[in-house]
Structure 1
Amino acid sequence: MATTALALLFLSPLCPAKDHFEALPEKASPEVVGRKLSARFVASPHMFWTEFGTLHYAEVATWYGALNFAALTKDAKLKQQLVDRFEPFFGAEEKFIPPVTHVDHSVFGVVPLELYRQTGQVKYRVMGLAFADGQWDRPDSEGLSNQARYWIDDMYMITALQVQAWRATGDRKYLDRTAKQMVKYLARLQQPNGLFFHAPDVPFYWGRGNGWMAAGMTELLRALPANHPERPKILQGYRSMMASLKRYQSDSGMWLQLIDRPESWAETSSTAMFTFAMITGVKNGWLDESYGPVARKAWLALVDYINEDGDVREVCAGTATKNDVQHYLDRPRIVGDFHGQAPMLWSVAALLRPAGLLMPAE
C-alpha cells in the first residue's frame, strides 16, 4: 500500500484542538450520522446516467465518502460491504464503467484508487490510474486537461481524481498538474466577492456549483506541500470564498440554492460542501476561529434534513448551465439524491479526521 510522502501529511501550522465540533447533540454525532448514511448507501441501487447507462459521478462521490468513514472509524464490516459493492465492475457490471472522456465520467477513478489505498490490491490501482492518466491524455497547449470546460463543477471532478492518484502513488506530477488547472479556473471564474459563476457566461452563484469548487480546493489544500508554488494562490482563493460564504450564511445556518438570492431556498448539498470545507479549514488553521461557529451552525442545521430512512432532503437536482435565473430557482428538490448524501459523508469525515491528516487512517 502506498505510504510515499508521509512527511507531507502535516502541511500547515495547526491550531490547537477546536471545541466548535465537540459536545454535539446525539443526532449530530458524526459517528451516528455516518453510520446512518453509509448503511443507506450500501442498501441503495446504483445511480446511472440516463443517457449513457454508466455509473453516475454522484454515486462515486458518495462511495468515496462512505469509504472515508469506514477507514476513520475502522469499521471492517462496512469496508467489506463497500468492497463487495465494487467487485461486479470486474465482471457482470463492467459495462457500467464510464469512459475516460469527460470530467463527470473520469471521476469514477476516485473509488478504485481509494479501494487500493485501503486494501493494497493492485487491480484497483491499475483501474484508477487509467482514469487519472487518461484525464491528461493529449493535454492542451498549456499542459492542462483537455476535459476542462470551465464549469466550476470540474474542479472537484478533476481535482479529486488527480489528488487520489497522488495519494496512491506519491508521484508529484498528479499534484502539479491539478494545481495548475485549479489556478487557471480561479483566475477565470472567481469573482471579486470570492464566489464563482457557474460558467463564464452564466453570472449566477449556484450553490452546489460553488460547493464543488469549495470541496475541490479543500481536497487539494490537504495534499499540497506548504512550499508548493501554487499553494498561496489556491489558499488565497479558498479564503476569499470562505469569507464570502460566512457573510451569506442564512440565519438558519443553511446556504441557499442561489447563494446571494434571498428568494431562493435552503439547499442541502451546497451547505454540506461548504461545511466540509470550513470544518477542514478551521481544523488545519487555514481559517481563523471565527469560522468555527459558522461551520458548527451549518452542521447542526443539516442534520435536521436527514429523514428516518437516512435520506437527505432538499437536494437540488443535477443542473446544467443556463443564463436564466429562473432555471436555477425552479430546479427540482429531491430526497435521497446522492448529490446530497455525498457531501454529508464528507462533512462526517471532516469532523472525525484529525487536523493535518492527509489520508484516512489505514
Structure 2
Amino acid sequence: MIPPYRHMTVLLVAILLAPPTGAREEIRLESLPEECGPVEIGNRLVYRFLRTERMKLPYRYAEVCTWSGALKFAHASGNQDFLAKLEERFVPVFSTDKDAIPPIGFYRDDFKHYVDFNVFGVLPLTLYQITRNDNYKALGLSYADAQWTLPEGATPGHKAYLEQGLTWQTRFWIDDMYMITALQSEAYRATGDRKYVERAAKEMIAYLDALQRPDGLFYHAPDAPFYWARGNGWVAVGMTELLRNLPADSPCRPRILASYTKMMECLKKYQRTDGLWGQLIDKADIWVETSGSAMFVHAMITGITHGWLDKSRYEDGAVEGWMALIKHLDAEGNMTEVCVGTGKRNDEQFYYDRPRKTGDYHGQVPMLWCACALLEYVNR
C-alpha cells in the first residue's frame, strides 16, 4: 500500500507558504504541484478509508458513497493495491456479512429514508464495471430496479408517482437528486440500457421544476427555506453525474444542462475569498463548510472538463476551491469542518448551530470526487 504521508511535510509547507488567493494565477488545473495534486490527496483519502472500521450494519449512504468514490479513484489512478483491498472489504456481503446488505425495495410508513439504503446498489455496480463480476452486477441492478417497482405496502401516493414515470421513492428532498440519479446512472453504465438514465433524468426534471429557486439554488426543503450547502451539493453532483452519462440526443439533456449552468453561476457569485462556501451559502457570517464546498468544486471541475462551463470564467474558482479544501485535510487524512447529518428544519439558527465533525464520510467522499474530477481533466 502506498505510504499515506509520503509528501506530508512538503504538502504542509506548500499550503502554509501558499500566496493569498489573488496571487495564484500561476496555478492551473493541469499544473497543480504534485503534493497538492489529485493522486497524492486521493491516496491519502483512500488509505484513511481502508483504516476505518466499517459502520454499523446495514450500510448507509455516506459510507457507500465514500467506498464507491475510493474505488473510482483507485481505478482512475491505476492503483491495483487499493482496488484489491477495496474489493476484499466488500466480498463478505455474500457470506458472513449478509446482514450488511440493506433491504431491497422495502417500505414502512414510519421509516421513509429508503433512498439512503437503495443507493447501496451504486457500490456493487461500480465494482462490476471494474471487475466484470456478474454477481456484483446482479446485486446492484436489484436496487436500481426496485426504485421503479412498487413494494409491498405501497400507498396510493407511491402508485401515483410511478404512474407519472417517477420512482415510488419520490420525496422531493434535495439529497434525493444524488441518491436516485447516481444509482440509475451506474445501472446505465453497467448495462447500456437507456431506460435507467432516462428515467433518472425525468426524475431530475421533476425535482428541478418543484425545487429550484429563481437564482438557481435550492432550499433544503419547501418548509425549510434555507440554502444549506451540502443539500445543494447533492443536487450539483447529481446533475453533474447525469450530464456525464446522458446521451447527447436525450430530450431531457437541455433542461438539466440549463439548470446546472444556472446553479454554477449563482455558486460562483457566493464563493468566498478563501475559495469555499458557507454552511448556508448566502450568509456571509456563517462558518465555512467543506462537504458542500467540495461538491461544488467537483461540479465545476467536471463542467470545465466537458465544456459545459467556460474555463476562462470558472477555472480560477475551481483551483482556489481545491487549494482551500486541501488546507482542511488533516495529517490523518480526515476532512475538517464537516457538518454532521442534518434533517430539515424551519429555523435558520438551527443551521448556524449544527455540530462540525472531522473525518465524517460526508466530507471524505466529495474530496475523492474532486480528485477523480481532476484526474479526468488531466487525462482528457
Alignment TM-score, normalising by the size of structure 1:
0.90
- 1:80 and 2:102 correspond: no
Report the counterpart of residue 16 of structure 2 in structure 1. Answer: none
2:305 is equivalent to residue 305 of structure 1? no
Mapped partners of 1:36, 1:148: distance in 2: 36
Q: Distance in 2 between matches of 1:188 and 1:274?
A: 21
Q: Which residue of 2 aligns with 1:14?
A: none
Residues 1:348 and 2:371 are matched in the alignment: yes
Distance (whole Å) between structure 2 residues aligned to residue 263 and residue 133 of structure 1: 44
Q: What is the match of residue 218 of structure 1?
A: 240
Structure 1: 4+ residue segments shifted above 2 A: 138-141, 354-357
One of 72, 80, 92 as aligned partner of 1:68? 72
1:1-362 paired onto structure 2 within 5 Å: 20-48=28-56, 53-100=57-104, 101=106, 102-138=114-150, 140-289=162-311, 290-354=313-377
**Change in 2 beyond 3 A, CA 1:356/1:235:** farther
Query: Matches of 1:278 and 1:178 in 2, distance apart?
Result: 21
Q: Corresponding residue for 2:157?
A: none
Q: CA deviation at 1:20?
A: 2.9
CA offset digits 1:169-217 (Å, max 9, x no partner): 0001001100000000001100001000111221100000000000000
Kindly indicate whether the alpha-carbon contact (under 8 Å) linking 1:284 and 1:356 is maintained by their aligned counterparts in 2.
no
Greater Rg by CA: 2
**SS of equivalent to 2:318:** helix
Shift of 1:26: 3.4
State the AA in 2 paired with 1:128: G
Measure the CA separation in 2 of the matches of 1:319 and 1:25.
35
Q: Secondary structure at the match of 1:46?
A: coil
The letter for the 2-side match of 1:295 is A
With a CA cutoff of 8 Å and minimum separation of 6, indicate the structure with the bigger relative contact order. Answer: 1
The whole-number CA distance in structure 1 between the counterparts of 2:55 and 2:317 is 32
How many residues matched?
335
Aligned to 1:256, what secondary structure does the other structure show?
coil
What percent identity do the matched residue pairs reach? 52
Q: d(CA) in 2 for partners of 1:307 and 1:133? A: 40
Q: Please report how far the alpha carbon of residue 222 of structure 1 lies from its aligned counterpart in structure 2 after TM superposition.
A: 0.2
Deviation at 1:355, TM superposition (A): 7.9
Return the offset for 1:354.
4.3
CA distance in 2, matches of 1:304, 1:42: 22
Deviation at 1:300, TM superposition (A): 0.3
Q: Offset at 1:356?
A: 9.9
Task: Kindly provide the amino acid, as one letter, of the partner of residue 144 in structure 1.
Answer: L
Q: Is contact 2:175–2:231 with CA below 8 Å preserved after alignment?
A: yes
Provide structure 2 residue ranges, at least 5 long, that are not aligned to the other structure. Answer: 1-26, 107-113, 151-160
d(CA) in 2 for partners of 1:58 and 1:105? 10
Give the 3-state SS of the residue equivalent to 2:226 in structure 1.
Answer: coil
CA deviations over 1:97-135 (Å, ceiling 9, x no partner): 112341110000001001011001100001000000001
Alpha-carbon contact 1:69-1:348 (below 8 Å) kept: yes
* More helix per residue: 2
The aligned residue for residue 3 of structure 2 is none
Q: Give the CA deviation at 1:327.
A: 1.4
Residue 8 of structure 1 aligns with which residue? none
Structure 1 residues 157-176: Cα deviation after superposition (integer angstroms, max 9, x where no partner):
00000000000000010011
